[in-house]
Amino acid sequence: MSSTQFNNKTAIVTGAGQGIGFEICRQLAAAGATVILNDIDEILASEAASKIRSENGKCIACAGNSSNKNFINSMISLAVDTTGQLDIAIANSGITLFGDFLTYPEDSLTRVLNVNIAGTFLLAQAAVNQMKKQGHGGSLLFTSSVTGHQAHKDLAAYGMSKAAIEMLAKNLVLEISPYKINVNTIAPGATLTERTLDDPNYMSVWSRITPMGRPAYTTDIASAALFLVSEQARHITGQSLVIDGGWTVISPSPEEN
């Protein structure tokens, strides 16, 4: 990706204090974008934005609940007040709460649906209304998961939520294409992040059961994300790109390996 690929572009990325979201922000900023980096954790957001600025990127921390409509509107306002526009909105925030379907707590279900589905829907809605007003198009990207394509034990709620946002992207094609806004999803598989590295067996297990021989790095996911919000992908919309080293082709369970 060119170091000027996203010059004069403004992007919002939610759930970006670490992991995939942070790497997307880092790469966008490195390619010239001004990035509004959101995380619910104020310290994570501040440290992440500071790190990107130390690499000469333009990045503003914006801590808050990305499933709250008023907060989402404030992020849009921050982007517009800072740069005059919003070009890219990436709904990356997500929560994974494992649990057996038969005993899955209602409060866990509510949290998963609010963050994963409502947060994505509301960010998309607010971003599209701003982009429509601007009149020069834009790009939306949602972070789904391979669990939206392939059943995974104890992830009924999470997988349902990820499949739902892929359907949202398809449906939005009908409503936002007239405004020259495209919308796609990425569906990462096993990825090495701060969270997954807490599991000492994660790397070895997923290396054995992934055809490409390793889980993804955050750079693998972010590089695909940047393509889908770039000018090169303007005619791609309503699609989901699975980034999993081939795991969904054979889908072996990590619990059996």
The CATH number of the domain holding residue 233 is 3.40.50.720
The confidence band for 254, taking pLDDT boundaries of 50, 70 and 90, is: confident
Confidence label for 2 from pLDDT (cuts 50, 70 and 90): low
CB 8 within 8 A of CB 81: no
Residue 256's pLDDT band (cuts 50, 70, 90): low
Q: What is the pLDDT of residues 40-84, one digit of tens each?
A: 999 999 999 999 999 999 999 999 999 999 999 999 999 999 999
Catalytic one of 158, 179, 202, 217: 158
pLDDT for residue 1: 55
Residue 169 placed within a domain: yes
Q: Is residue 5 part of a domain?
A: no
| Domain interval for residue 42 | 10-190+218-245
**Beta partners for residue 5, in sequence order:** none
pLDDT value of position 195: 83
- Per-residue model confidence as pLDDT tens digits over 79-98: 999 999 999 999 999 999 99
Q: What one-letter code names the amino acid at 3?
A: S
Helix (H) or strand (E) holding 225: helix 218-228
In a domain, 255, yes or no: no
Between CA 231 and CA 73 the distance in angstroms is 26
Residue 199's pLDDT band (boundaries 50, 70, 90)?
Answer: confident
The reply to whether 161 falls in a domain is yes
Number of domains in the chain: 1
Q: Could you tell me if residue 160 is inside a domain?
A: yes
Q: What is the DSSP string of 164-210?
A: HHHHHHHHHHHHHGGGTEEEEEEEE-SEE-TTGGGSTTHHHHHHHHS
In a domain, 144, yes or no: yes
Residue 136 lies in a domain: yes
**pLDDT tens, 16-36?**
999 999 999 999 999 999 999
In a domain, 201, yes or no: no
- Asked whether the predicted pLDDT for residue 190 surpasses 80, the reply is yes
**217 catalytic per annotation:** no
